[in-house]
Amino acid sequence: NKHGGVLALIFSILILAIIPLLHTSKQRSMSFRPFSQCLFWILAANLLI
């Protein structure tokens, strides 16, 4: 059981390290995505409440 947990931890870290290298599309800021910006402010308001 412990070995499975260690392997899962290592693979999750490897996946998180590899994903940015595979992501090749241009990332635009949130100012170009009004729906995303609205959801961000709703999340921020929920966290403050």
Residue 42's domain spans which residues?
2-48
Q: What band does 18 get if pLDDT is binned at 50, 70 and 90?
A: confident
Query: Measured between alpha carbons, how far is 4 from 26 in angstroms, rounded to an integer?
Result: 36
* Enclosing H/E stretch for 40: helix 34-48
pLDDT, residue 37, reads 81
Amino acid at 35: F
Q: Token match 């996946």: residue?
A: 15
pTM above 0.85, yes or no: no
Domain tally for the chain? Answer: 1
Query: Measured between alpha carbons, how far is 31 from 2 in angstroms, rounded to an integer?
Result: 45
Alpha-carbon separation of residue 42 from 14, 32, 37 (angstroms): 32, 17, 9
